[in-house]
């Protein structure tokens, strides 16, 4: 049975589902939009400030058939956001193919560290210094979201911005635990460099998941 489950996981027909929930998208371009979130377990990028470290170990989360995931998603919203962890550690094609049969909008939030799989209506690329994105995803990203923890992240943000396509929307987002210190820096930076926009984790201010 374990070998069979591993085969299904390798194919993307099952995924380690950490949680799935209906809420309001709190970040980036689609903030304020009702969306159904599918959080997939597994991540080896290792951001020290990650607020969902419990997602890192995929073995802690039950392998779930994509049919069951889509059945739950279709009951709530037209917009489905796949996040993690790092969802691209897994083959996303079976999941997105099935979501598309239900005419659902597919969004992904990813570090881009793994090859892009699946069919996406919106790609939020949030690159990390520890494991940089693959070359292919830069040209396909709809928004670039760089987390600002300290001043050095502005330089990293600019390095990433030159790699994305011209239509990609550029966001700087304060790391939550340091928001009081870095928000003034981000505000000044965006005012001096208006190609960037400010992204806030509005769901945390609203006290919703």
Q: Which domains does the chain have, with CATH numbers?
A: 2-145+158-165 (3.20.20.70)
What pLDDT sits at residue 1?
57
85-113: string of b/e by CB count within 10 Å (b at 16+)?
A: bbbbbbbbebbbebbeeeebbbbbbbbbb
What's the pTM value of the predicted model, to 2 decimals? 0.94
Strand partners of residue 31: none
What pLDDT sits at residue 142?
98
What pLDDT sits at residue 46?
81
Of the listed ranges 41-50, 84-93, 157-166, the one predicted with least confidence: 41-50
């Amino acid at each position: 049975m374990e070998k069979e489950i591993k085969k299904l996981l390798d194919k993307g027909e099952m995924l380690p589902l950490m949680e799935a929930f209906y809420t309001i998208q709190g970040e980036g371009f689609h903030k304020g939009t009702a969306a159904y979130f599918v959080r997939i377990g597994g991540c080896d990028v290792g951001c020290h400030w990650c607020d969902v470290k419990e997602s890192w170990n995929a073995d802690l989360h039950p392998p779930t058939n994509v049919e069951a995931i889509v059945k739950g998603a279709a009951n709530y919203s037209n917009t489905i956001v796949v996040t993690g962890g790092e969802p691209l550690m897994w083959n996303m094609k079976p999941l997105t193919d099935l979501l598309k049969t239900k005419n659902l909008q597919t969004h992904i939030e990813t570090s881009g560290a793994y090859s892009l799989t699946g069919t996406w209506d919106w790609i939020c690329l949030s690159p990390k210094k520890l494991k940089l994105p693959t070359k292919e995803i830069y040209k396909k990203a709809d928004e670039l979201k760089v987390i600002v923890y300290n001043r050095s992240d502005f330089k990293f943000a600019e390095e990433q911005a030159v790699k994305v396509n011209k239509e990609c929307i550029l966001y700087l987002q304060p790391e939550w635990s340091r928001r009081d210190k870095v928000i003034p820096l981000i505000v000044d930076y965006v005012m001096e460099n208006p190609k960037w926009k400010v992204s806030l984790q509005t769901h945390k201010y609203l006290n919703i998941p």
